[in-house]
Amino acid sequence: MKTSHHLLALGLFLLPTISQAQEKFDEQMIAKIREEGLQRSKVMDIAFQLTDVNGPRLTATAGYMKAANYAKKQLGDWGLTNTQVDPWGEFGKGWELKKSYLALTAPYYKPIIAYPKSWTASTKGTQSVEVVVVSAAEGDTLLAAYKGKLKGKLILIDATGSYKQSFKPDATRYADEDLQKMAEATMPPAQTGGPRVAQGSFPKPAPGELFISMHPAALRNLKAMAKSEGAVGFLSTTTRAHDGTLFVQGAGSYKKDDPENMLDVVIGIEDYLPIVRLAAAKVPVKLDVDMQSIFQTKDLQGYNVIAEIKGTDPKLADEVVMLGGHLDSWHSSTGATDNAAGCAVMMEAVRILKAVGAQPRRTIRIALWSGEEQGLLGSRAYVKKTFADRADMKLLPAHEKFSAYYNLDNGTGKIRGIYLQQNEACAPIFKSWLAPFADLGAATVTIRNTGGTDHQSFDAVGLPGFQFIQDGMEYNTRTHHTNVDSYDHLSADDLKQAATIVAAMVYNTAQRDEKLPRKALPAAQADRRP
């Protein structure tokens, strides 16, 4: 009890200074939200349900639907209304892994950590196979050398260079100077997407750099030849796949009428490189492989989870404030930091609001998206049917009634601030709203954009959509799209902090006399669904 009273006193101590700021808000309610979120949090209980209990959540699978129905029921039990598992359109085939076994059997026995990429074929039981290492040389000139030699084989792309140890820590937080640079930014950084490569060329590695790749056109031709000759499949790796951490995603199309993709199995470089070296030394290499998966084709729809806290102001109740994160994950782990963390935080945020008796003027709507990993599909489809189609920018009535969308999808790190997405008019508002949480490390407001997640679906049709700045933790080194993205990599204190701040931001948006300011409407743009 002493801790709770101390936190309430701290919140009230900060508020006289805050009240002098430009944007006003309910100081007593923010103090209640703070106490509930930091002292009586359920965020790790929610995360446990989404990860350990429900397992992987690849879109259009039983695991995703199990998690979606859990979320719907839990939100309803907390008192939210209009709870639904909402179909947004055709996604395609679901895919579930049932067995994954790979072992080196010659020149000696060694079990290998391995995961097939999603939407790839099975092996028809255990097979004992030899390997073929194919040159990564540019173009198709060397592929003829392998013609007629691929039947029943596992194929690897040759590797050049060697593995280099990293002396950087796996987990990091933003330094004060980094946050200061973000706060002082006047223009978003150039969206280069990395070094440009001329069409038809193939990037060359630096001397000594570990390089495992192949010219895209040559790789397509190799896969076609492998399939026609009856190869078992491919072994893949990346330079990031080391120390038992594998980066596993998809291997092709999932549309209802598309054929199965050829088996493609991800292993670590510590297993991949010895096979390449043995093959180069003419030492016979054999492996046992048994990969079993099933395709789900009975229901091709994609589904989001939607629920609401209804607004209470007769003039504003039909206006909407949204918060969300993507519920889907990849299949090699339980998707804890990507993005059960974001979903648990958003669910906890609305639980906090119900627990403190909040009566928002506007309706607060939570959304947990599917298909994010395949191109923001669930959120884009929802925005299209609810607010506007970005292809023609014809606005639906709900577009005018929308205030803001808040997203969380950068791992388990605590919130350090918010990206404005170049919506400069929101800067003083957000600075005021974050002020009560400066002692928790959240104070940075940056004009910069950030991408790669569902707030972009709203921003694309001129609606205020925001992603929070989060500490990186292990996200880009260990957990993002990997086989170790599990509950144990979540930080409870960080998620409590994040849920508390999100609850406050959403509540303040719902209470504000006016909707949040908007940028100018963007021009129409073609839908580039993969």
For 296-445, where are the alpha helices, taking DSSP H only? Answer: 341-355, 377-386, 397-400, 427-434
Q: Does residue 287 form part of some domain?
A: yes
Q: What are phi and psi of 76, to 5 degrees?
A: -65, -40
CATH (domain of 496): 3.40.630.10
Judge whether residue 34 has pLDDT over 60.
Answer: yes
Contact 332, 244 (CB under 8 A): no
- In the chain, the percentage of residues whose pLDDT exceeds 70 is 90
Is the domain of 82 the same as that of 120?
no
The more confident residue out of 13 and 373 is 373
pLDDT value at 200 more than 80: no
pLDDT at 20: 38
pLDDT of residue 11: 41
Chain segment 61-89, per-residue pLDDT in tens: 999 999 999 999 999 999 999 999 999 99
At 456, list the tokens: 């972009």
Task: Give yes or no: residues 360 and 241 share one domain.
Answer: no
Of residues 190 and 503, more confidence is placed in 503
User: Pick from 263, 281, 296: which residue ends a domain?
Assistant: 296
Query: Does residue 75 lie in a domain region?
Result: yes
pLDDT at 526: 81
Residues 75 and 102 in one domain: no
Distance separating alpha carbons of residues 89 and 378, to the nearest angstrom: 8
Residues in CB range of 261: below 8 A, 6 or more apart: 117, 119, 120, 121, 251, 252, 253
Please report which confidence band the pLDDT of residue 217 belongs to, taking 50, 70 and 90 as the band edges: confident
Q: Has residue 132 got a pLDDT over 90? A: yes
Residue 252 tokens read as 């092709």
Longest dimension (CA), the chain: 79
Q: What would the pLDDT profile of 324-347 be if each residue is shown by its tens digit?
A: 999 999 999 999 999 999 999 999
pLDDT of residue 52: 98
Residues 87 and 122 in one domain: no
Q: pLDDT tens for residues 411-421?
A: 999 999 999 99
Looking at 242, 270, 296, the residue that finishes a domain is 296
Whether residue 277 sits in one domain with residue 247: yes
For residues 313 and 362, what is the distance between their CA atoms, to the nearest angstrom?
Answer: 7
266 shares its domain with 124: yes
Amino acid at 529: R
State the average pLDDT over residues 178-198: 68
What is the structure's pLDDT at 91? 98
Do β-strands 286-296 and 264-267 pair in parallel, antiparallel, or remain unpaired? unpaired
pLDDT given for residue 318 in this prediction: 98
- Tally of CB atoms within 10 A around 248: 25
Q: Round to whole Å and give the CA distance between 11 and 167.
A: 41
Same domain for 222 and 136: yes
pLDDT of res. 127: 97
The stretch 478-489 carries a mean pLDDT of 98
Distance between CA atoms of 38 and 69, rounded to whole angstroms? 27
Q: What's the mean pLDDT when you consider all of the chain?
A: 92
Residues 115, 77 share a domain? no
Give the total residue count for the chain.
530
Domain span at 370: 27-91+300-409+452-463+472-511
